[in-house]
Chains A and B, each alone.
Chain A
Amino acid sequence: MKLITAIIQPDRLDHVREALIQADITRITVSRVTGHGRQEDIEYYRGQKIAPNLLPKVRLDIAVNDQFVNVTVDTIVKAARHESGEIGDGKIFITPLEECVRIRTNERGGSAI
């Protein structure tokens, strides 16, 4: 099991959500977060020297069984990217997931996802 955490631009949320549903990845958690990437990039992007501001982003948390990791990541990358890719399009972090419990039934492991 893996936990996929994706940080994307807010305006791509619907694109990503729909693409994930199309790909049969239907269980996600979405939160509004703020943050920024590399300072150098922001400086270059704005054309003048400024400290990076905290920008609004959307964070997706998706727990998947191992065989779904690739399709999930590919779907997010394709749907979250602006055209040919822009600075600030986001990142995806994949971490091992030790355990998953479904509260209603107290099921454990892969079947609980």
Chain B
Amino acid sequence: MVKKISASLLLFVAAMMAYSTGWAAEPVVTDTGTTSWMLTSTALVLLMVPGLAMFYGGLVRTKNVIGTMMHSFGAMVVIGVLWPMVGYALSFGPGILGGIVGWDPKFFMLQGIDDSIMSSQIPEYVFAMFQGKFAIITPALIAGAFAERVNFKGYLVFIALWCVLVYSPICHWVWAADGFLFNLGAMGAIDFAGGTVVHISSGVTGLVAALFLGARRGYPRNVMSPNNMVMTLMGAGLLWVGWFGFNAGSAVASNLSTARALTVTQMAASAGAFTWLIIELVHHGKATSLGVASGILAGLVAITPAAGVVAPVGAFALGAIAAIICYLGLLLKGKLGYDDSLDAFGVHGIGGIVGAICLTFFIRPSWMADASAKIHAPWTVWQQLGVQATAVGITVVYAAIVSLIILFIVEKTIGLRVTENDEMSGLDHSMHGEQGYGLINPN
């Protein structure tokens, strides 16, 4: 999406040169249309966080509903503070330490962007806040992998460290104008709205965390049925709605590319849900609501990196492929026996990898032509596949290793896994001293 910014920057410079005789150079002004859409998108992405809280909250046992929803809200609180303070500077500042991470003192506490209008004609505040919502939802996604068994205090420290040490560097590599994955190959690794940055990083971290912390007490022997599928479905619906901001907002524009992203997002979500529904009908004879919700998410996750480059046919294909592979992944999880409680890896990790890799085969020809024109040599699908695989591989390895170190440190100092007694009592009681469904109480 920063590609758009640099493209429009070039255009602007060209325009300035053209008009330099007799015309005073006009400063970049806010485009009200683009800004309105980006403000809307920012709000839509934030809406996904309570959506995720409901989605995850409904899937756990009654005694953990508040504890699980608080993982999402905790991310909103902690990252909400951390992002404007240092996260934006670490992600979108100019590269330091050989490009491992960005940093610009003027972005600390967003001090230096008070008057800044970006070349995409939106105030930089809007872009910083829009990006902040991605930083919020990503650690919240991880929580699905270790639901029902982590200490709230340890969780808060974990996501804060993770945001600084894992999210910000990957975000910098993939999305900052000087990030090395952004400049890999002819036109960079394609990650339109967060396939690697958001979904693969969080999914892989979730898998590492689930393996590191061990299974929930009694898993898989005891049945752990969802406490409220109604809430889960409403959450899935909110995620779908919010995803239009997530993907279509990532164009940082309000034009044709926005419309394309929105269209393929809608189609991939439907295709994913449809495929999952058919698989279940054939495999079990009954289509479950959780299956539909999982299919929606699998489709949305897979289209996330691809929303800028694939045509509608590709969106159908990616949604369907993601649903099939995620479904197989969940079957495999049952066989392997690790406890990725709410399938953060099973849907976000696997779906993200499927999307980021498979999108290569559905890139619209005009994009490939642009890539070839840029390097003045033919740019093939296989070369782009190499770039995509590199980006995915680096994200997987980096997120896994650094997350493991963070998990180890937090577990040894503050404690991340709850005690057996607290786990049996439920997180609502042991971590928050509350209960989810007090409304049942007659007074």
- By a beta-carbon cutoff of 8 Å, the part of chain A in contact with chain B is 10-15, 18, 32, 34, 53-54, 56
Contacts and interface: CB of A to CB of B under 8 A. Distances in A.
In the A-B complex, the 7 residue pairs with the closest CB atoms? A11-B425, A11-B429, A14-B424, A54-B443, A34-B441, A15-B424, A34-B442
Contact of A10 (B63, B421, B442, B443): B63
Contacts of B429: 10-11
A34 B443 CA distance: 9
10 contacts: A10-B435, A11-B430, A13-B63, A14-B426, A15-B424, A15-B425, A53-B443, A56-B435, A56-B438, A56-B441
Interface in B407-443: 421, 424-426, 429-430, 435, 438, 440-443
A12 B101 CA distance: 48
Q: Chain B interface secondary structure, helix, strand, loop or mixed? A: helix
A14 B426 CA distance: 9
Contacts of A13: 63
Nearest to A32: B440
A62 B360 CA distance: 61
Which of A14, A18, A54 has the most chain B CB atoms closer than 10 A to its own CB?
Answer: A14
A56 B438 CA distance: 8
A31 B144 CA distance: 28
Interface residues of B, number: 13
A10 to B, nearest CB: 7
Given A56-B435, A56-B438, A12 B425 contact: yes
Contacts of B435: 10, 56
A54 B425 contact: no
Contacts of A18: 424
Nearest to B421: A15
Contacts of A12: 425
A12 B421 CA distance: 9
Given A15-B421, A56-B438, 15 more contacts: A11-B63, A11-B426, A11-B429, A11-B430, A13-B63, A14-B424, A14-B425, A14-B426, A15-B424, A34-B443, A53-B443, A54-B441, A56-B435, A56-B440, A56-B441
Interface string B58-76: 0000010000000000000
Q: Is the interface of A mostly helix, strand, loop or mixed?
A: helix
Contacts of A11: 63, 425-426, 429-430
Nearest to B443: A54
A15 B425 CA distance: 8
A13 B64 CA distance: 13
Contacts of A10: 63, 429, 435
A34 B426 CA distance: 19
B398 to A, nearest CB: 39
A11 B438 CA distance: 14
Most chain B Cβ neighbours within 10 Å, of A10, A11, A18: A11
Contacts of B441: 34, 54, 56
A62 to B, nearest CB: 20
A54 B421 CA distance: 25
B194 to A, nearest CB: 38
Contacts of A54: 441-443
Nearest to A13: B63
A11 B441 CA distance: 16
B359 to A, nearest CB: 45
Nearest to A17: B424
A35 to B, nearest CB: 10
Of residues B425, B429, B442, B443, which shows the largest number of chain A Cβ atoms within 10 Å of its Cβ? B425
B421 to A, nearest CB: 8
A89 B421 CA distance: 16
Nearest to A54: B443
Nearest to A35: B442
Interface in B284-312: none
Interface string B246-263: 000000000000000000
B426 to A, nearest CB: 6
Nearest to A15: B424
A14 B438 CA distance: 19
A14 to B, nearest CB: 4
A15 B435 CA distance: 18
A34 B438 CA distance: 10
Contacts of B440: 32, 56
Interface string B358-392: 00000000000000000000000000000000000
Nearest to B438: A56
A20 B421 CA distance: 16
A11 B421 CA distance: 10
Nearest to B440: A32
B204 to A, nearest CB: 32
